[in-house]
A and B are shown apart, each in its own frame.
Chain A
Amino acid sequence: MSLASQVSAVVSMNVKSIGQRFWPSVSTALAVALVVVVLLSFLAMANGFQKTMRGAGRDDIAIVLRAGSQAELNSGLTRDQVRLIGEGPGVVRDANGDAVISSELYLIVDGVKRDTGTKANLPLRGIGAAGAGLRDGLKIVEGRMFASGANELLVGRALQREFRGFDVGSTVRFGKTQWTVVGAFETGGTVFESEFWADLPVVQSLFNRGAAVQTVRAKMTSPEAVAQLKAYSDNDPRLKLDVVSENAYFADQASGTTNLIAKLGWPLAIAMAFGAIAGALNTMYSSVASRTREIATLRAIGYGGFPAFVGTLVESLVLAAIGGVIGAAAAFLFFDGLSAATLGASFTQVVFQFALTPALMLNGLILGMVIGLIGGLLPAMRAARIPIVAGLAER
C-alpha cells in the first residue's frame, strides 16, 4: 500500500509539473504526433488501396486469363476459348440456357487529373451483355446505362471525381474515336469505379480489335465451382488458361502496391521515431534536471527511488500518449476518406480513398507509446539514482 501511495503521489506530481515545462513538453508531444501522422497516412493509404482492390472481388465469379498473363492488360483469349469456357462445368446458365459470362476488352485511354493537370492512363473496359450484372452493388447514380451498339460511355464515380472532363453529357475523344458520357456509376468504392465501361462490340470495332477479348468473367454456381472450371481448363489442351476467383485475382493485384506502401511507411515512421525519441529524451532529461531538488527532497523524506523512476516514465508516456492521440486525430481528420489515384498493376490509374481503421490508429498509438517508453527510460533511471545529498544542494 505504501509503495502504491508513493508511486501514485509522485506520478501525480510529475504529471502536474508538465505545465511548468510547457514548450518542451509541447514540442515532444508534437514530434510524436508527427511520427504517428506519417505512419498512419501510409497505413491508411495501403489499407484504402487494398480495400478498393479487394472489395471488387467475388468468390463465385471466375476470371479467365491467358496462362501466365498475370494482369488483364497482358491477356488475350480466342473466340473458341471463350466458347469452351461458356460450356465449362459450374458456370451459371440463364433462363435461355446461355452461360452467364462476360467477355471483356481492357484498353488504356488518356485522362487529365483535376488536381495536377497531368495526363494519366485510364482503363476503358468493353463489357458483354452480362458484364454489368456481374458487378456487386452496381448503381447508376446519374444518367443511364450505355446503349448497345452506341459510342456511349458509363463512367465510374471515382474516376469522374479525380479526372476532368467526364461529366455526364460531355463528349470525349480517345484517339480518333469520339464518345458521349451518358451515365455515372458506383460500385461501393471498388476498383471498378476507376473505369469507363462501354459496349464490347463498339470498343472492339472503334479500336480495331476485331473479335479479340482479353478476359472472360464467368458467374459460377458456387465458390467451389471455380476450382472445377480450373480443372476443366487444365485438362483441355485447347485451354491454356489461368482460372482464378475474382477476389483472389484482385487480392493478388493489390498485394504488390499495398506491400510497397506499407513497407515504405514503417521504415520512414521508424526513422522519424528516432528523432522523436531524441526530443523526448531531451525533454525528460530536462524534466529530471529541473526537479532534481524535488526528487532529492522526497527521497530525504523517505520515498524510494522506484516512485521517482515510475513518475518520470509515466510523465514521458503521458506526453507520448497526448502526441499519439493528436497524431491519430490529425491523421483521421486530414487523411481518412482522402481520395487519391495511383498506378495499379495494369498500368492504369486506380482511384481509392485513404481508410483509417481503429486497428491502424492503435498501431500509431503504440508506436507513440514506444517513443515515450524509450525516451523516458534513461531519464527515469537517472531520476531514481539521484544522490540525495547532491540533489538537495541543487538550486
Chain B
Amino acid sequence: MIIMQRVLWIFKGRRLALIGLFWLCLVAVVALIAPLLAPFDPFEINPIMRLSEPGIPYLFGTDHFGRDSFSRSVYGARMAIIIGLGSVSVALIVGGVVGMLSAYFNRLGHFLMRVVDVLMAFPALLLALVLMTLLERSVTNTIIVIGIVYATTTARILFGMTLKLKEEVFIDAAKCAGAGHGALLFRHILPNLISPILVQASFIFAFAQLQAAALDFLGLGLPPEIPSWGNMLSEERIYVTRAPWLLIFPGALIILSVFSMNLVGDVLRDKVDPRFKLDIKGI
C-alpha cells in the first residue's frame, strides 16, 4: 500500500506517464502469466488456418504457419521483458563500472575510455551485427550483445557525471572526514548517479526493444521460432499487403512499450532527485 501511495505521489499530475506505467505493468503481468492467457500454443503450426483474419478464436489472426498471433504476442511480452531487463543489467553493470572507475582513477580511465571511444565509433546496429555474427543466435547472446552496445553510451555518460561529481565540495568534505575510495565511490558518488542511471536504464530498455526487433528483422537476433515481437515482424514482413494485421499488432506493441518506457523514465528523472521540489506541470 505504501509503495502504491509513493508511486501515485511520484506520478501526481503526470497522467500520460501514469498510463505508460500502467501499460508497462500490464506487459509485465502478461509476461508472467503468459501460459494462462495464451489460448493456443505459440509454437503450434496449423497450415489450414494460415493467414486468418483477426476475429474469433484468433484475436490477432494467424501467421503464415497458421500459428496464433495473439498467443505469440503474449509470449512476445515475455521476451520483451527478458531482453529489456537483461540488456539493461548488462549495460548498466558493464557501463557503470567502466564509467565510474575510469573517471575516479585517471590512469585507468585513459585506457578504458579509449576502448569505449573505439566501440562508439561504430553505429550501434553495426556493432551489434558484427558481434552477433561472431556468436550463435540465442536469447543470452542477444542480451549480451545489446547490453554491450549500450554499455558504451552508459560508460560515456557516467564517466562525465562522475568526473563532475568528483569535483564537488562534498566529495572533498567526505575525504576530510576520512572516507576511503570505497566509501567515496559507493556512498557519495553512486547515489548521486541514481537518477541518470534510471533515466539511462529506461532509454536502454526502450532502445533494446528496437535493437532486438531490428536484429530479429535482419535474421541475426533470437532464433526464428522464438515468439518475439521483432521475430513476428520479421517473419511476416512479406505479407504486409495480404495480412497487414500481422505487422500492425506487434509493431504497435513495440511502439507502445518503447514510448511508455520513455515517459516513465522522464518522470523518474524528475522525481527521484530529492532536490527537485517544484512540480513541473504537464504530462
Chains A and B belong together in one complex: no
